[in-house]
Chain A
């Protein structure tokens, strides 16, 4: 077991974004998180990454967790060079004050994501796809055993998506555990052996074909669209 989520509830202002969710992911597992908008997918990833405190339940991860966030939360006009932005991936190693001994790793990471020669360029000059490659390079330097990807292939051209998918495959081949929020169901069926279908609660979790059955997807849509303005306190709450 590399990642275990037990009876997890993440709430915003008492409204659950994720409700009594439990699943485990073995070391080297590759799982997609699928669900309609508002299903709590990003909240789940942010809770696992430690950005949201669970209202209830627990999350156990073996080793460091690295998160690829959605681009919307980043300041893309910030005056940093690509080299400096990628170097932030070494934070766990040297922290805010330690000496940075990067030994050419930054340049190699940039090269691995197809950004050779971009080291000195300001991040503000990158396209959406190039910026996503940059975030993958930072993730590469984080060298974490558990990797969380929040919509990693959104708004990317086919070539960039294919390159970054190859990188995800490589990480998984190295034995890293990967949990990715995705919307492209064909991609999920082709590449991800396990799927968590989420609609604030787990609709299904397990082998992708079973989890994504038409009946489960219909149930997910109905659950996510439910919103009770007069909801009582949850009977399952501790």
Chain B
């Protein structure tokens, strides 16, 4: 029996894999843009911030996906918009407002789930379960991936320009805040879509770890996106397999696989990898 035989044998694993494939094509490109905007922790904050929405959705609808997704989406958007509005309204920094809001939201979310749910349900929401990937969840992931890819095809150039030179972008009429909010909205949507497969605490991992690792393999935005998707796909396959064989939740399993690839990238990646930077080699002649 090969490690991948369970994917042939069990339908729920194939469904989970298909969902993760969809997420692997949509979340990492968003992660790359977050990294390039120096907002690597924003995804983390938003994933924590949407927890009370998911929790309230759970209280009202149980483990019914549309209810969880709607709650998570609303809470995530509220945190994203609220952090910006608070920063502008009080003259403070957006990252500080975001930190204050997401910590409050995280505590409220865990309190609500603990209050009304069982430990099993808490674990499932926080860390994901491959068994939770039913047809509606799969459709949500596929729809989210389609929307994200369409958005990226449309917004590719404005997003790059806005990251590289925001003043120039504004001078030539690119509405930076509109693209910024659209990007954050899609980040929230991807996090919500990932809750079933990898859990709300881990959803951001499939977005950020491949994106962060990708910079060690490419010096172009397109290259980084391609590599990040490849890493996420590999991590999904390895992680789901390990989750089945080792009987651990799918979220941590997929993320640990992505983290292993990130660690390899940091050490052996050709762009600023530790070996490439510190291995003594003769310098070039010109």
The answer to whether B170 touches A51 (Cβ under 8 A) is: yes
Whether B163 and A67, one on each chain, are in contact in the complex, defined by CB atoms closer than 8 angstroms, is no
**Is there a chain A Cβ closer than 8 Å to B155's Cβ?**
yes
Return the CB mask of A95-130 against B: 1 if under 8 Å, else 0: 011000000000000000000000000101000000
Docked Cα-Cα span, A49 to B173, in Å, equals 10
Contacts of B167 in A (CB 8 A): 46, 49, 51, 67, 69, 73
Hey, which chain A residues are within 8 Å of B172, CB to CB?
A: 91-92
A80/B170 contact (C-beta < 8 A), A74-B165, A88-B165 known: no
**A24 vs B165: C-alpha distance in the bound complex, in angstroms?**
29
Chain A, residues 159-179, CB within 8 Å of chain B (1/0): the string is: 000000000000000000000
Residue contacts A-B, CB under 8 angstroms, 9 given: A66-B171, A69-B168, A74-B164, A78-B36, A78-B164, A80-B220, A81-B220, A88-B165, A92-B172
Give the chain A neighbours of B166 by CB distance below 8 A.
73
Q: In this assembly, does A65 line the interface, its C-beta being within 8 Å of a C-beta of chain B?
A: yes
- For the complex with contacts A46-B167, A49-B171, 15 further pairs of A-B residues with Cβ separation under 8 Å are A65-B171, A67-B171, A73-B167, A74-B164, A75-B36, A75-B163, A75-B164, A79-B221, A80-B160, A80-B164, A80-B220, A80-B221, A85-B164, A96-B157, A96-B174
User: Does any Cβ of A come within 8 Å of B161's Cβ?
Assistant: yes
B contacts with A: majority SS: helix
A69 touches B161 (CB 8 A): no
How many inter-chain residue pairs (CB < 8 Å) link A and B? 62
Indicate whether B270 reaches chain A with its CB closer than 8 angstroms.
no
Task: List chain A residues, Cβ under 8 A from B174.
Answer: 91, 96
A122 CA to B164 CA, complexed, in Å:
13
Question: Chain A 55-82 against B: per-residue CB contact (8 Å), 1 yes, 0 no?
Answer: 0000000000111010001110011110
Question: Roughly how many angstroms separate A84 CA and B163 CA in the complex, as a whole number?
Answer: 14
Which of B157, B161, B224 neighbours the largest number of chain A CB atoms within 10 Å of its CB?
Answer: B157
B219 touches A79 (CB 8 A): yes
Count class of interface residues, chain A: 20 to 34
A97 to B158, CA, bound (A): 9
State whether the Cβ of B48 lies closer than 8 Å to any Cβ in chain A: no
Task: Mark contacts of B133-172 with chain A using CB atoms, 8 A cut-off: 1 yes-contact digit, 0 otherwise.
Answer: 0000000000000000000001101101101111110111
A97 and B168: CB pair below 8 A?
Answer: no
- Contacting B168 at CB < 8 Å: which of A13, A84, A88, A122? A88
> Is there a chain B Cβ closer than 8 Å to A207's Cβ?
no
Q: Does A38 sit within 8 A of B, measured CB to CB?
A: no
CA distance A83 to B27 in the complex (A): 28
B15 partner residues in chain A, CB cutoff 8 A = none
Q: Give the complex CA separation of A102 and B3 in angstroms.
A: 51
- Which residues of B have CB within 8 Å of A85? 164
Which of B86-109 touch A at CB < 8 Å? 91
- In the assembled complex, which residues on chain B have CB atoms less than 8 Å from the CB atom of A81? 219-220
Within 8 A of B (CB), among A2-61: 13, 46, 49-51
Count how many chain B residues have C-beta atoms less than 8 Å from C-beta atoms of the other chain. Answer: 25
In the bound complex, residues from chain A placing their C-beta under 8 Å from that of B219 are: 79, 81, 122, 124
Query: Which A residues touch B218, using CB under 8 A?
Result: 79
Most buried by B among A49, A69, A80: A80
What are the residues of chain A within 8 A of B220 when measuring CB–CB? 79-81, 84
The residue of chain B having its C-beta at the shortest distance from the C-beta of A13 within the complex is B91
Q: List chain B residues, Cβ under 8 A from A78.
A: 36, 163-164
Among candidates A49, A66, A69, A122, residue contacting B165 with C-beta atoms closer than 8 Å: A69
Of the residues B165, B170, B215, contact of A75 by C-beta under 8 Å:
B165
Name which of B154, B167, B224 has the most chain A CB atoms within 10 A of its CB. Answer: B167
CB-defined interface of B163-200 with A at 8 Å, one 1/0 digit per residue? 11111101110100000000000000000000000000
Is A73 in contact with B155, judged by CB distance below 8 angstroms?
no
Cα-based distance from A50 to B170 in the complex (angstroms): 8
Known contacts A51-B171, A73-B167, A79-B36, A88 near B161 by CB under 8 Å:
yes
| A73 contacts B170, C-beta separation under 8 Å | no
Q: How far is the CA of A73 from the CA of B170 in the complex (A)?
A: 13
> Which A-B residue pairs are the 4 nearest by beta carbons?
A96-B158, A91-B172, A96-B157, A78-B164
Report A-chain residues with C-beta under 8 Å of the C-beta of B161. 88, 91, 96
**Which residues of B are found within 8 Å of A88, using beta-carbon distances?**
161, 164-165, 168
A124 CA / B163 CA spacing, docked (Å): 14
Write the chain A residue with the least CB distance to B271.
A79
Shortest CB distance B25–A (Å):
20
Q: Which residues of B contact A65 (CB under 8 A)?
A: 171
Complex Cα distance, B171 from A142, in Å, reads 12
Question: Chain B contacts of A91 at CB under 8 A?
Answer: 161, 172, 174
Task: For B91, give the chain A residue with the smallest CB separation.
Answer: A13
Bound-complex Cα distance A66 to B218 (A): 32
